[in-house]
Structure 1
Amino acid sequence: MGDRDWRPFIYGGLASIVAEFGTFPIDTTKTRLQIQGQKIDPRHVELRYTGMVDCFVKTSRQEGIKALYCGIWPAVLRQATYGTIKFGTYYSLKKALGARRADGGAAEHLPTDTLCAALAGGLSSAIANPTDVLKVRMQVGDEKRNLVRCFVSIHRAEGVAGLWRGVGPTSQRAALIAAVELPVYDACKRRLQPALGDAPLNHLASSLLASLGSAVASTPLDVVRTRLMNQRNVKDSRGPAQRIYRGTIDCFVQTVRNEGFLALYKGFVPTWLRMGPWNIIFFLTYEQLKQFY
């Protein structure tokens, strides 16, 4: 495996954290747009925002600019785990499997890249799921406390299961995003290299193309994931816990049935607008870190 296998893990984690800080307010607007308009959830029936810009402006005016960064610390903690495992596992697996092929990994092999990316994305997202739950709860505005108090509150009220709420669609979404995003980036980078070289302009164009594909593929699962994470299943001896959605498929079906198919693409614009800059910042940072060694 070589003595440099740890570097993709370190570089992936650091680049993910930098990208998260740069794009987090867009992620907050996406989360709030995905939560609103649920006809079967009395807490979020109202359509408070007409779009990303309206959500950004209203949140800033009504709750302050700081509200756009509510949940940033669990998000950073998530990237420190998710980003590190995801990118490190992907590039390490890709290198190991490539070395076993006849060409020694000299050429891109789409099936191999896709498999490695899906495994890396799903595994890393499942491990980091508790931090994602904390982030969503704080972004929606229901949890205003600090990271530790929010964690303790969810654990006491909902148990350990509350911290892994939505882990199914979260892992599926992450696997899907990774399976599209990483192989597309690598393929575009390789194709554009004769014209642009291994330079920032190449990294910029490749990351934009990768983010568009992953946004289209992942937004429906992202909507389902966000709604499952936001619902409570409170442990209460006075009566049965209220469950709005029974799982991924039920949430998917009820969302389409009650709000229409396009509800699965709520928050698509901020999702894409976030993925674009996020990927640009990430891959530019990652490629620059690679230049150190």
Structure 2
Amino acid sequence: MGDSDWRPFIYGGLASIVAEFGTFPIDTTKTRLQIQGQKIDPRHVQLRYTGMVDCFVKTSQQEGVKALYCGIWPAVLRQATYGTIKFGTYYSLKQWIASRRPDGGSEEHLATNTFCAAFAGGLSSAVANPTDVLKVRMQVGDEKRGLVRCFADIYRLEGTRGLWRGVGPTSQRAAVIAAVELPVYDACKRKLVPTLGDTPLNHLTSSLLASLGSAVASTPLDVIRTRLMNQRKVKGHIAKPNERIYRGTTDCFLQTVRNEGFLALYKGFIPTWLRMGPWNIIFFLTYEQLKQLY
């Protein structure tokens, strides 16, 4: 692909949207597990769910199966921006740097791939943060309005800062995921080519291995950014004596560990991993097939 080739951006966005539709209910259970049990938030003190399956069943029974897809449209909008920028930037930047090395890019460099992935993940996630806030608010179940009205109300009541709430840990999480996921996928795919060839089985195996590492590395930041995004900080509101709010990433981390224990940072790990596995499989299989089409 040339320096001005936009195909990685287009393929990355399309593949991300397909993967999001296929795994969104798992993401909803992950989000609900992550926000429960917070000592400082009276709305979510109660432990309503014992695990992913229990959350899936109770949500379906109490709110209907449709509730598992509440927030799907901001999620699709997020992938249309985040996925497009992330994967397009990663593959384009990696190729641009490789073409300027003495070897002409004939060999893969782990350090280069990791840097490109982290940069692409952090940048794309920061740009798409408002859609992530909308998704989390709608997934939790408290927000029943449509995408446009939800966006307008957050902006009216909380201002621009409300739409970029949690952008720090969100960008850090995305950078960590990308820095682990993309180089691992590329490395595994390259190592398996002599045995499996450049086939869907190779893509499936490589994506599974990539998802495990990224889930372990990113879940604590995912818990923190979900809790920050879900809390409201209305403009001009004077907090009551018993009303608490996280002041930022570090405060949320400390409050969570202090009140709920270190393992609270891994709430929702199982659905996170189970979602990342199928998500990566669907994404990379779709991406590789799109590459072969044109």
User: When the two structures are superposed, what TM-score results if normalisation uses the length of structure 1?
Assistant: 0.98
Is the contact made by 2:134 and 2:150 (CA closer than 8 Å) also made in structure 1?
A: yes
Aligned to 1:248: 249
Q: CA deviation at 1:5?
A: 1.6
Is the contact made by 2:41 and 2:244 (CA closer than 8 Å) also made in structure 1?
A: no
Q: CA deviation at 1:33?
A: 0.1
Is the contact made by 1:181 and 1:211 (CA closer than 8 Å) also made in structure 2?
A: yes
Is the contact made by 1:232 and 1:243 (CA closer than 8 Å) also made in structure 2?
A: no
CA distance in 1, matches of 2:262, 2:33: 15
Q: For residues 41-71 of structure 1, give each alpha carbon's deviation from its aligned partner in whole angstroms, at most 9, with x where no partner exists.
A: 1110000000000000000000000000000
CA distance in 1, matches of 2:70, 2:58: 15
Is the contact made by 2:71 and 2:136 (CA closer than 8 Å) also made in structure 1?
A: yes
Q: How does 1:89-238 map to 2 (within 5 A)?
A: 89-236=89-236
Q: CA deviation at 1:235?
A: 1.7
Aligned to 1:21: 21
Aligned to 1:32: 32
CA distance in 2, matches of 1:133, 1:269: 22
Is the contact made by 2:3 and 2:96 (CA closer than 8 Å) also made in structure 1?
A: no
Is the contact made by 2:3 and 2:92 (CA closer than 8 Å) also made in structure 1?
A: no
Is the contact made by 2:40 and 2:244 (CA closer than 8 Å) also made in structure 1?
A: no
Is the contact made by 2:122 and 2:172 (CA closer than 8 Å) also made in structure 1?
A: yes
SS of 1:159's partner is helix
**How many residues of Structure 1 are paired with residues of Structure 2 in the alignment?**
292
Mean CA deviation greater in 147-156 or 242-251: 242-251
Q: CA deviation at 1:240?
A: 4.0
Aligned to 2:278: 277
1:265 aligns with 2:244: no
Q: CA deviation at 1:3?
A: 6.4
**Which runs of 5 or more residues in structure 1 are unaligned?**
none
User: When the two structures are superposed, what TM-score results if normalisation uses the length of structure 2?
Assistant: 0.97
Q: CA deviation at 1:106?
A: 1.5
Q: For residues 2-53 of structure 1, give each alpha carbon's deviation from its aligned partner in whole angstroms, at most 9, with x where no partner exists.
A: 2662000000000000000000000000000000000111110000000000
